[in-house]
Structure formats: C-alpha cells, structure tokens
A and B are shown apart, each in its own frame.
Chain A
Amino acid sequence: MGKVKLMQGNEACVEGALYAGCRFYAGYPITPSTEIAEGCAVRLPQVGGHFIQMEDEIASCAAAIGASAAGVKSMTATSGPGFSLKQENLGYACLTEIPFVLVDVPRAGPSTGLPTSPSQGDVMQAKWGTHGDHPMIAIAPSTVEECFKLCVRCFNLSEKYRTPVIFLMDEIVGHLREGIEIPEEGELEIVNRAIPEDPAHAKKPYATKEGSTVPVMAPFGAGERYNITGLIHADDGFPTNSTEIADKQVRRLLAKIDDNLDDILSWEETSMDDAEVCVVCFGGTARSVQSAVETLRAEGVKVGMFRPITVWPFPAKKMREIAGKVKKIIVAEHNDGQMLLEVQRVTGLYDKIGFVGKVNGTVITPDEIVKAVKEG
C-alpha cells in the first residue's frame, strides 16, 4: 500500500503525470489550472525533467508537442481561454500523431468568464475545438484520486494510440483537497509508445503493420531522420495532394479510436441495477449526484448514476443500453446542456430527457438533483 497524502486535484494531476513518465511540461499561467504549472516547475527538475513557462498558450502547446517528437512524454495545462488558443496545435498533434496530454481545467465562460468558478463548458470544444475531422480522447476525473490515476491513463492512451489526450478536469476536482493513496511504483500499468527496432533503417514512419492502425515511429535523434508535417502526408511523412491518400489517412486517424472503443471507453455506474431513473453526469458534478442518489435511495426512490469517465469518444452503446432499461434519464452538468446533446443524439430521446444545468459559476447541489428526480 502506498503513502496516503492530502492533496489538491491539480497537485494530484502533477504527481500522476510524473508517475506516468512525463518529463516535460510547457505552460502559461491561467486560473484555475495554475497549480499544475507550479507543481511541474518544482517537481520536474527533481526527477531530471524539464519545465518551461512559455510566452503564451499557443507556444506551450507547441513546445509540449516538440518535446514529445523528441521522445519525451510531455504535458501542458490550461483553462477555457487558453484551451481556445491551444486548439491550433492540438489539431497538429492529431494529424502528425504525436502523443501528449493536454489538461483543461475549465472556468465558467464564455471568454474570460468567471475565472475562479466551476464550469464544464468545454465539453464540446474538447471534441470539436480544433478544425477538421480528427480523433479525440477526453477523460474526466471526479475525485482527487482520479486526478492522479486517470492522468496516468491519459498518458497511456496517448502513447498507445499516438494521439493527444485531453484530461478534462474541472474547478471542483482541481481545487478539491482529499486524502489519496499514492500508488507504489509498478502498481499501475505504464505504457510507452512503440518504436522501431532499428530506427536507422526505418523507412516509412507513418506506415502501419497489418491489423494495426497506429504507426511505429522513432523519436527525433534516433537515426530515422523522417519528416513531420501538418499537411496531409503519405506513409513516408511527406506532403501529398492525393485525394486517395487524404481519405485513407483521415479515416485511419479516426479508426485508431473507433476500432478500439473497448479499450478506450470507461465509465462508472452507481446503484444502476434496479434503477428506474438514471442521472448522467461526469467530472466534479458526480459528487453532488452521488450524494443525491444516496438521499433518494434512503427514501426508496430507485435512482442510479451513470458517469462516463471517457467523455470522448462518448460511450454511446452503453448509454443506449441504459436508456432501454430506465424510465427516465436526467443529465446534470455545469453548462447549458453539452453532454445532454450527446445523450439525446445517441439515445434518440429528445424531450424525454430531463436536465439540470448551471452557467452561473455555482455548483449544482445535491438538493437540486433530488428535486429534479422527484419532479420527474
């Protein structure tokens, strides 16, 4: 059993990143994610890694991707306004297949919004913020312990599929302090990207082996001397205008995620076995929902919680399965109904889905959930 420590979600994210093997962080100060930069500034040199505060959010995203291209696991963190700025190079990492973890601790928005208040208004931006069709994985923690463990998972998925992963935290978990058990070395699985056996003789960095959709690439400096470009490129890494290759490349990028849903998707179900009402939520909102479910269960109301941990790709099949069993679905989130849109879309149920949402920077209370469930 590891050491038990009292820490904040943002701090746990830093420790999780180090545990996963992250040795580079580039960032820019922004509330409510700043503690992640501060933590990395202290901790990274202690483990031989590098921290740099860049001139802006765009540059921090670029630097994190650059470090990863050179073979070093990397991370950057931000909040809403900075998340908007990072979208440019997030798309670059998708197309060039350079793994890294982008942490977003949203604030209430839009624009500069309410910098210190909780929000979950970046759900759709996490999936669709960067232009063009692209793969995206986003993972949302709801406890400080998950800020650690799921950060490790973000790195693992990123390395395995050579794609950026968004760690979609929120101010509730980011600034929450809880006791967590720090896993011992070796307790959690650590995935490192596959590299060619003989980099000096590797010819096509973006070629994939039979049965796989993920290329095997060497880090810069290992002798492969290939080209990386944000233009549509062939297996050799060089730009092409071939419509056939463009189609093949974009579809392969999407298939990396779509063909591996069993591995990528994760969720939590609470009291769902006999539930007639299902409250769907994610991240910090789950804390209020969990409390409401306990209260309602004590009163004999058959209610449960479904919490997608992998927010993108959305666990559509599981959501449909639940929709087929329960009488009522209520979505609770700190925005005006972003995950609600996805739940409506995948279930085909529109007006029948209840909604509890907030956009004023305050937290949805357990009472508000209780009330929504009772009112049906």
Chain B
Amino acid sequence: MPSKLVDKYLREAHLPHIWCPGCGHGVLMRDVAQAVDNIGLDRNKVVLVSGIGCSSRAAGYMDFNTMHTTHGRALAFATGIKMARPDLEVICIMGDGDASAIGGNHLIHAARRNIGITAIVFNNDIYGMTGGQYSPTTPYGEKGTTAPYGNIDRPFDIAKIAQACGATYTARGTAYDAVLTTKLIEDGIRHKGFSVIECASICPTYYGRKNKKGSAVDMYTWQKENSIRVEKAQAMSPEELKGKLVVGKLSEDDFPELTEQYQAIIDRVRK
C-alpha cells in the first residue's frame, strides 16, 4: 500500500524499482525519505547524488534534484555542488564497492575536508549489479563469483575509516532496524560537517545464495540478532564483538565545516 512518503518523495512514474525481492535497499531508501521528511527539508533544495551500482539507482526514484554519476565519483561531484552552492542540502547514496573501492579516495578526502555532505552507504558486502563479485566489505572467508574459494582480503570498516579520516559524524544502521537507521540519517543530515551513515543492507540474491545465508527473512533475522547498540558494545571485548554489527551513532566531533570556512575567506579577500 503506498504511503504518504511514497506520494511525496518517490517518482512513481519510474517505479517499480530494479531491486530484487528481499533486497535491503528499498527499506533504506524509505529511511532516507523519512529522515528528510522529519527534518522538513525543501525538496527543491535537496540534491541527491549517487554513483553506480544497485544502491545508486535510488537517486532516480527519489523526487529531489538527482544526479546519477560515474562509478565511485558521487562524492567528487557532490563536493563541486556543495562548494559552488553551499545553500543546497547535498546527500550522497553509494554502495560499498562504489564508496570504498573505486571511490575510496574521494571518501577519505571528503572526510578530511569536513565538507557539509551526508554520505549514506548502502553496504550489502557484494557487487550486486554485476552479479556477486566480492567487495572491500565482503567478510573474510566468504564467497563471491570472483572469490570462488573464499575471500582472503580483510574487510574494511567504512564508518571507522571515515572517522579516522576526519568525518565529524559517523554512524551505522541496518536495513532491519528502520527506526534507528532513520534517526541516524536524520542526525547525519542535521550535522553540519561531513557525516557518514553506513547502512548494513542485505543482498539475498547474490551474497545470500553464494554464502548459504538462507532467505531474505533469514538475513534480516541475522541482522536483528547480531546488532549490538554502541552503548552496550563499549563494555564488550573484541572477541565478543567478532561478527557482530555495532549500530548507533559511532562518533561526533566539532570542527568547522569547509564551505563556511571558505565563505570566511571570500568575506576577507573580496574586492
């Protein structure tokens, strides 16, 4: 049944979406819409930039100023938009390979600059659009079509990388916990500097089948049973946290936002 959110924020003429049954991306897209609605942003001033991959199709479905760019480059395009027009609210939706493999350089530097962009990573631990190749977040030992004997690379912790590189707001949500994830996205958008919300999604079609994770329901149940709130995780040992998803607001720091600093330069040198 269509909700008010669908009426207001989705381009119904361009639905149904291309995502597989059970995919977590639809839930996460709804969370983004709910977060924007909760804040009451003017849709005309919201720019949603995406890269390439399953997650990036969200941009085309949402009724904002939307830009579906090249693979990995969403944050680089978004940086140009935000820098040239600081009055616009710029949000990026990226996938895990998009944000942390081909776009890894752009992610760490956007974080370093603390530019006022909200980066939302739909992390399903796999390249779904191309049929299930392992990504930088595929867990160690798991399989992909290009890791047929098991992945021997260690996975990235995207939120931790972002924090280490200077992002002043980092959080992790899940496709399972829509209420929490919506709140984290909302807080990320409200935050002035660069914010990264890593959203654990699920890919039952490729990741799930290849790694015998059961149905989409089984995968959501796994997320439910293995999510640990950050407050609780603080009292747990690394061994106890192994294989768990630490969710919630992971960090928030105070540092001047890039475009505000640049405006101060303009005010100082303008002739």
Which A residues are within 8 Å of any B CB, using their own CB? 23-24, 26, 45-48, 50, 52, 54-56, 58-60, 62-72, 74, 88-89, 92, 200, 220-231, 238-239
Q: Which residue among B60, B68, B77, B262 has the maximum number of chain A CB atoms within 10 Å of its CB?
A: B77
Q: Let me know if B219 is at the binding interface, CB within 8 A.
A: no
Partner of A89, one of B73, B81, B83: B73
Q: Which residues of A contact B156 (CB under 8 A)?
A: none
> Contact between B65 and A65 (Cβ–Cβ < 8 Å)?
no
| Inter-chain contacts of B28 with A (CB < 8 A) | none
Instruction: Collect the chain A residues with CB atoms within 8 Å of residue B265's CB.
Output: 45
Does B84 contact A55, Cβ atoms closer than 8 Å?
no
Report the separation of the CA atoms of residues A54 and B108 in the bound assembly, to the nearest whole angstrom: 12
Q: Given the complex, which residues of B lie within 8 Å of A89, measured CB to CB?
A: 70, 73
Does B233 touch A at the CB level, under 8 Å? no
B80 at the interface (CB under 8 A from A): yes
Closest to A24 in B: B84
Given contacts A45-B265, A54-B79, A59-B79, contact A70 B60 (CB under 8 A): no
Q: Which of B49, B67, B69, B108 has the most CB of A within 10 A?
A: B67
Seen from chain B, the residues whose Cβ lies within 8 Å of a Cβ on chain A are: 11, 14, 43-45, 47, 49, 59-60, 63-70, 73, 76-81, 83-85, 87-88, 105-106, 108-109, 262, 265-266, 269-271
B76 x A66 contact (CB < 8 A)? yes
- In the complex, the chain A residue whose C-beta lies closest to that of B84 is A67
CA distance A92 to B70 in the complex (A): 7
Chain B residues in 8 Å Cβ range of A74: 80, 84
Contacts of A65 in B (CB 8 A): 77, 80
Instruction: Judge whether A59 and B109 touch: CB under 8 Å.
Output: yes
Contact B269 A221 (CB under 8 A): no
- List chain A residues, Cβ under 8 A from B106: 55, 59
Query: Beyond A223-B44, A225-B43, is A64–B80 a contact (Cβ under 8 Å)?
Result: yes
| Separation of A222 and B266 alpha carbons in the complex (Å) | 24
Beyond A55-B106, A238-B60, is A46–B70 a contact (Cβ under 8 Å)?
no
| Chain A residues, CB < 8 A from B69 | 62, 92, 230
The one of B14, B79, B270 that contacts A46, using a Cβ cutoff of 8 Å: B270
What B residues does A48 contact at CB under 8 A?
Answer: 266, 270
Q: Give the complex CA separation of A67 and B81 in angstroms.
A: 4
Q: Which 5 A-B pairs have the closest CB atoms?
A: A66-B80, A63-B80, A67-B84, A62-B76, A59-B76
- Which residue of B60, B67, B76 contacts A239 across the interface (Cβ within 8 Å)? B60
Given A24-B84, A46-B270: A228 and B68 interface contact (C-beta under 8 Å):
yes
The docked-state distance in angstroms from the alpha carbon of A92 to that of B106 is 18
A58 proximity list for chain B (CB < 8 A): 73, 76
Contacts of A229 in B (CB 8 A): 60, 67-68
- The interface residues of chain A lying within 8 Å CB-to-CB of B87 are 221
Q: Are A59 and B105 in contact (CB under 8 A)?
A: yes
A58, A59, A64 — most chain B CB neighbours (10 Å): A59
In the complex, the chain B residue whose C-beta lies closest to that of A88 is B70
In the complex, A45 Cα to B262 Cα: how many Å? 8
Partner of A26, one of B66, B80, B266: B80
Task: Give chain A nearest CB distance to B119 CB in angstroms.
Answer: 14
Residue of B nearest to A96 (CB): B67
A230's closest neighbor in chain B, by CB?
A: B70
Q: How far does the alpha carbon of A225 sit from the alpha carbon of B41 in the complex, in Å?
A: 14
Distance, CA A268 to CA B60, complexed state (A): 47
In the bound assembly, the distance between CA atoms of A50 and B264 in angstroms comes to 12
List, in ascending order, chain A residues with CB within 8 A of B108's CB: 55
Residues of B within 8 A of A239 (CB): 60, 68
B262 engages A50 (CB within 8 Å)? yes
What are 17 A-B contacts defined by CB distance under 8 Å?
A45-B265, A47-B270, A48-B270, A55-B109, A59-B73, A62-B70, A62-B76, A62-B77, A62-B79, A66-B78, A67-B85, A200-B44, A221-B45, A225-B65, A226-B66, A227-B68, A238-B14
A181–B77 Cα gap in the complex (Å)?
Answer: 36
| Distance in Å: Cβ of B194 to nearest Cβ of chain A | 14
Q: Please measure, in the bound complex, the distance between the C-alpha atom of A164 and the C-alpha atom of B77, giving whole angstroms.
A: 15
Contacts of A46 in B (CB 8 A): 269-271
Residue in A47, A56, A230 with the greatest tally of chain B CB atoms within 10 Å: A230
User: A221 vs B105: C-alpha distance in the bound complex, in angstroms?
Assistant: 28
What is the distance, in angstroms, from A194's C-beta to the closest C-beta of chain B?
A: 18
18 new A-B contacts at CB < 8 Å, known A55-B105, A70-B85, A92-B70: A26-B83, A46-B269, A48-B266, A59-B79, A63-B80, A66-B67, A66-B80, A66-B81, A67-B80, A70-B80, A72-B85, A220-B47, A221-B44, A222-B44, A225-B63, A225-B65, A227-B59, A229-B68
Name A63's contact: one of B79, B85, B269 (CB within 8 Å).
B79
Q: Report the separation of the CA atoms of residues A231 and B43 in the bound assembly, to the nearest whole angstrom.
A: 24
Is there an interface contact between B84 and A70, defined as CB atoms closer than 8 Å? yes
Q: Which of B11, B60, B83, B262 contacts A67 (CB 8 A)?
A: B83
